[in-house]
Structure 1
């Protein structure tokens, strides 16, 4: 399949095959396009004509007689996406503050209203600092713990749904195809999959594979703040991906099929890689070997 056809399917939110998804993820600039598209889908701004913005940008480019060489490598449809959304953000999104974290790095952020956000490793947030008082909206990719100061509605926007509160403590873990929300204090309103659910303190919600589940949690705050990732009936493949987010390692499987029925309930530490991998492999009777920045997991012979 041609590049243009695959990108068009992605833009139209059509179901992609495993090979097509791998093709997109291996594209050099795809991650940036995805972040821009997610923010633009939720961003609220004055009326704006994208076609007019695109034409203005083209005129400006002609006046300067410059070219974006990297656009020439991409199909026309992807180029239009980047230029159009880029124009949109050029006019209305320039005052956004972007903060992200790298592997094995967490970060505490104080927002303009004294609300606090703690970003987990490999996560990012974006918000309009200059307009924060009138519009407490924050875009999240990854995982973060929120301690919200009382005031107007505070909304966390992800690519799978929105979480709104007035003042509370809660955690959001957003991944490509799943989201989990844990409420520790106050009341949280979650809008997801065309439904609105209210979570009180001690309640959690997860949305995975188009399945929405609610359950109780008995913690006072997120375990990752205490250096531990915790899971409840999560596919083993996703647990390995979470390990890769917490440590600078790559997990490879050998003679092992990560079937969907292999569900992991438990936790692993963020302080010692060998202890962490043992916590995951032992319950399934798997073997592992650590080779520098690579961990090979295999079925026990």
Structure 2
């Protein structure tokens, strides 16, 4: 039996022999198509006539004359099937662009609408470059500064909330259990913890330990763009983690009785590791020693 005929039987849910099943499993990409079909069975498409769509699908398959032509169109047919039930982009993600940074590294990215994103160290974004007009979403893990092109709009999605913007400059810092949004120009709309909040220029929002706080900020841009990390009432353990991101080191604590949940307000430079660690440890009366890619922090003797 011809290859396209076996695939057609599978699409039509006809009974396949053991030999035909083994043949299908050997086709490159078959596992992806199988996952699409299995997931599709659990969704409903209220605005699409599925029966008519499947009939058109069968007709299109019957018109194919050769193996190469039919197989070249199979991915598109699979996509049509999934679009019909509203689940294509959940299971087919070939057009997404992923950009990330390592410790000590920042990166500037230009979006398809000419908006600009600057990624802080150990951060990443993901967005649909080829379908930007229809899918204006950016998934962020870490921290990034956004300068939105005039009149453009998109949504920044994190695991704790969403930020929708229109012609503005703003910063989003997303960590394991916290998120901070700083608006420097224009207006942003933040959806978090079942609340929707609009921030204008000079306003900031922080969500930490299930507490949502708003406050004034007086900077023109994020301090990390100018080579330093700034904190306002942030637990010391989080400051240590940020230090590790900026200097690609591991901070180890030794004989430390100080509660690392104590709050730190201040900053450290990204340009000199010794000056930076002093800025963090001195306010708490701690000692430190720098050993290659590790810093030992201990109680002062």
TM-score, L = length of structure 1:
0.71
In structure 1, the gaps of 5 or more residues are 1-51, 53-58, 67-79
- Map 1:147-186 onto structure 2 (within 5 A): 147-186=147-186
**Which protein shows a greater Rg?**
2
Deviates more, 1:124-133 or 1:260-269: 260-269
Q: CA deviation at 1:198?
A: 0.6
- Map 1:249-264 onto structure 2 (within 5 A): 249-257=249-257, 259=259, 261-264=261-264
- Map 1:156-235 onto structure 2 (within 5 A): 156-235=156-235
| SS of residue matched to 1:166 | strand
TM-score, L = length of structure 2:
0.71
| SS of residue matched to 2:122 | coil
* Residue deviations 1:68-121 (CA, integer Å, cap 9, x gap): xxxxxxxxxxxx9xx98xx97684311000000111110000001000000001
Q: CA RMSD in A?
A: 2.5
CA distance in structure 2 between the partners assigned to 1:261 and 1:248 by the alignment: 22
1:63 is matched with 25
Q: CA deviation at 1:259?
A: 2.2
In structure 2, the gaps of 5 or more residues are 1-12, 14-20, 29-34, 40-86
CA distance in structure 1 between the partners assigned to 2:176 and 2:150 by the alignment: 30
CA distance in structure 2 between the partners assigned to 1:62 and 1:274 by the alignment: 61
Corresponding residue pairs, total: 227
| SS of residue matched to 1:159 | coil
CA distance in structure 1 between the partners assigned to 2:296 and 2:290 by the alignment: 7
Seen in structure 2, the aligned counterparts of structure 1 residues 258 and 142 have a Cα distance that, compared at 3 Å, is farther
The answer as to 2:101 corresponding to 1:101 is: yes
CA distance in structure 2 between the partners assigned to 1:209 and 1:235 by the alignment: 11
Q: CA deviation at 1:131?
A: 1.2
- Structure 1 stretches (4+) deviating beyond 6 angstroms? 59-62, 87-90
Give the conservation status (yes or no) of the 8 Å contact 2:237–2:261: no
